[in-house]
C-alpha cells in the first residue's frame, strides 16, 4: 500500500455517474490520485483518461485490481459485475467503492458481505442516492425525538416516465445486467431502512405493460424487468407501509418522488427532488419547514469514502453509509418483493 496521505485510486467502469460525479469529486480532494481506468473498451477508457489526465488506461479489470500501487477501487459498472469485482478488490487487499444497486440478487449480496467481513481492514461502501442526503439528519432527529409520536403508517411513491420509450432498451430494463433491481426500488429500500427501519413482512405485485421494445439494432426485446411495482407491508416498528414505483407516467404533473410518514403526533412529507419537507401537527394543514442549515448535508460520497480509507490505513476506526451490511438489508427486501410477486403470498423478510 502507498503512503498515509496519498490515496491512489483505480476506476473500473467509467460510466455517466463516474464521469459526471465521481471524477470531479475525487479531483477536488487533496492527495487523491486517479491513476488507472478500465472501461468497456480501450477507446472509451482513453477518452475518459484524456479528459481527467489519468495516466494509465487498461483493458483488463482484473489486472487493474491486482496492481500493487493502488489503495482503492471505484466500481462504476452495471450490477451484473458488482459482486465479482467487489470480491476481487477486497481479496486483493484494497478498499472498494461500489456503485448503487448493490448486486444482482440476495445470494450475491451475501457473498459480498461475507467477503467484507473476512477483510475488516478494508473499507467497503455503496454509493448512496443523492436524494437521501440533504435532510437525513433532520428526519432522524424528528423521528428519534418523538416529533411524529408513534409511527403508524407511511406511503412512498416514485413515479416517472423512465420506461416509456419503446424504441430503446436501457440496461436497467435488461435482467441480465440489472438482475432483481427494479427502477429505484432498491435505492428507496435503503433510504427507508435508514429512516424508519426495515420491513418485517410484505406483499408485492408487479407488472410489465410494455412487454416488448425495439433495441438500437432493430431487434425485438422481451422486457423482463417490471415497470410497475406495488408493495404493502408492516415494518419491524409496527407501522404499516405502502409503496408504489411506476415508470410509465405520461404527464408532467403526477410525476415525482415523495415519502409521507404519519404518526400519532404529526405528519411529515418529504419531496425527494425539491428537496423540501412539510410537517403538520394533528388537525393542522401541512406547512413547509425551513430546515436549519446545520442539518443540511451535501452529497459528499467521494470525501466520505476517502476519509474512511485514510482512517483505515492508519488503523483508526471508520464508518460509511451505506456499507455492504446496509446493502444486504435492502437486497433482502428486493428479493422479498420478487418472491411475493411470484407466489402471491406474504413474505417474512427474516426468512430471506
Query: For 194-248, how does the pLDDT look when each residue is reduced to its tens digit (9 = 90+)?
Result: 999 999 999 999 999 999 999 999 999 999 999 999 999 999 999 999 999 999 9
Question: Considering only CA atoms, which of 318, 164, 153, 120 is closest in space to residue 239?
Answer: 153
Helices (H), the chain: 16-17, 23-27, 42-52, 61-65, 82-91, 106-118, 136-144, 175-178, 185-195, 301-313, 324-343
Return the C-alpha cell found at 53.
489526465
Q: What is the pLDDT of residues 119-170, one digit of tens each?
A: 999 999 999 999 998 999 999 999 999 999 999 999 999 999 999 999 999 9
3-state SS class at 311: helix
Which distant-in-sequence residues (6+ apart) come within 8 Å of 180 by Cβ? 104, 105, 106, 334, 335, 338
Return the C-alpha cell found at 287.
406547512
Which distant-in-sequence residues (6+ apart) come within 8 Å of 10 by Cβ? 34, 35, 36, 37, 38, 64, 65, 67, 70, 72, 73, 74
Question: Considering only CA atoms, which of 270, 277, 281 is closest in space to residue 291?
Answer: 277
Q: What is the pLDDT of residues 241-270, one digit of tens each?
A: 999 999 999 999 999 999 999 999 999 999
CATH homologous superfamily of domain 7-128+299-321?
NAD(P)-binding Rossmann-like Domain (3.40.50.720)
What pLDDT, on the 0 to 100 scale, is given for residue 352? Answer: 79
Q: What is the pLDDT of residues 40-94, one digit of tens each?
A: 999 999 999 999 999 999 999 999 999 999 999 999 999 999 999 999 999 999 9
Per DSSP (E only), the strands in the chain are 7-12, 32-38, 56-58, 72-75, 95-98, 124-126, 151-159, 199-207, 212-214, 220-222, 228-235, 240-246, 256-263, 266-271, 276-280, 287-288, 347-348
Omega cis (within 30) before 275: yes
Separation of alpha carbons 314 and 110, rounded Å: 28
Residue 324 has pLDDT above 50, yes or no: yes
Domain boundaries, the chain: 7-128+299-321, 131-297
204: β partners: 231
What pLDDT, on the 0 to 100 scale, is given for residue 15? Answer: 85
C-alpha dihedral (266, 297, 329, 160), degrees to nearest 10: 80
Q: What are phi and psi of 231, to 5 degrees?
A: -130, 130
Over residues 22-35, the mean pLDDT reads: 96
Residue 1 has pLDDT above 50, yes or no: no
3-state SS class at 230: strand
Separation of alpha carbons 47 and 131, rounded Å: 30
Residue 2 has pLDDT above 90, yes or no: no
Which distant-in-sequence residues (6+ apart) come within 8 Å of 193 by Cβ? 326, 329, 330, 333
- Kindly state the DSSP code that residue 92 receives in the 8-state scheme: T
What pLDDT, on the 0 to 100 scale, is given for residue 3? Answer: 46
Burial per residue of 156-179, b for 16 or more beta-carbon CB atoms within 10 angstroms, e otherwise = bbbbbebbeeeeebeebbbbebbb
What pLDDT, on the 0 to 100 scale, is given for residue 4? Answer: 54
Residue 313 has pLDDT above 50, yes or no: yes
Q: Which CATH class is domain 131-297?
A: alpha beta
Burial per residue of 38-71, b for 16 or more beta-carbon CB atoms within 10 angstroms, e otherwise = bbeeeeebebbbeebebeebbeebeebbebeebb
Amino acid at each position: 500500500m502507498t503512503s498515509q496521505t496519498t490515496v491512489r485510486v483505480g476506476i473500473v467502469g467509467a460510466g455517466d455517474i463516474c464521469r459526471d460525479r465521481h471524477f470531479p469529486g475525487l479531483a477536488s480532494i487533496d492527495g487523491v490520485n486517479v491513476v488507472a481506468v478500465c472501461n468497456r473498451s480501450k477507446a472509451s477508457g482513453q477518452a475518459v483518461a484524456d479528459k481527467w489526465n489519468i495516466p494509465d488506461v487498461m483493458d483488463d479489470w482484473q489486472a487493474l485490481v491486482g496492481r500493487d500501487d493502488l489503495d482503492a477501487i471505484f466500481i462504476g459498472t452495471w450490477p451484473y459485475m458488482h459482486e465479482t469485482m467487489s470480491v476481487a478488490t477486497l481479496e486483493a487487499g484494497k478498499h472498494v467503492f461500489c456503485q448503487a444497486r448493490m448486486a444482482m440478487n440476495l445470494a450475491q449480496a451475501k457473498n459480498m458481505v461475507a467477503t467484507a467481513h473476512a477483510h475488516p481492514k478494508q473499507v467497503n461502501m455503496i454509493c448512496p442516492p443523492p436524494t437521501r442526503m440533504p435532510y437525513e439528519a433532520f428526519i432522524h432527529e424528528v423521528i428519534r425525538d418523538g416529533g411524529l409520536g408513534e409511527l403508524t403508517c407511511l406511503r412512498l411513491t416514485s413515479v416517472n416516465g423512465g420506461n416509456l420509450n419503446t424504441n430503446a432498451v436501457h440496461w436497467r430494463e435488461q435482467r441480465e445486467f440489472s438482475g432483481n433491481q427494479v427502477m429505484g426500488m432498491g435505492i428507496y429500500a435503503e433510504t427507508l431502512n435508514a429512516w424508519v427501519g426495515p420491513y418485517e413482512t410484505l406483499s408485492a405485485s408487479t407488472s410489465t405493460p410494455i412487454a416488448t421494445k425495439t433495441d438500437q439494432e432493430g431487434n425485438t426485446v422481451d422486457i423482463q424487468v417490471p415497470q410497475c411495482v406495488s408493495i404493502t407491508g408492516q415494518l419491524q416498528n409496527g407501522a404499516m407501509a405502502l409503496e408504489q414505483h411506476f415508470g410509465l407516467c405520461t404527464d408532467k404533473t403526477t410525476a415525482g418522488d415523495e415519502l409521507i410518514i404519519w404518526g400519532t403526533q404529526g405528519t411529515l412529507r418529504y419531496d425527494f427532488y425539491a428537496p423540501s419537507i412539510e410537517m403538520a401537527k394533528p388537525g393542522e394543514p401541512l406547512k413547509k419547514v425551513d430546515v436549519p442549515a446545520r442539518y443540511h448535508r451535501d452529497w459528499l460520497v467521494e470525501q466520505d469514502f476517502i476519509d474512511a480509507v485514510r482512517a483505515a490505513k492508519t488503523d483508526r476506526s471508520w464508518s460509511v453509509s451505506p456499507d455492504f451490511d446496509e446493502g444486504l438489508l435492502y437486497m433482502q427486501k428486493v428479493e422479498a418483493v420478487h418472491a411475493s410477486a411470484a407466489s402471491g403470498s406474504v413474505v417474512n423478510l427474516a426468512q430471506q
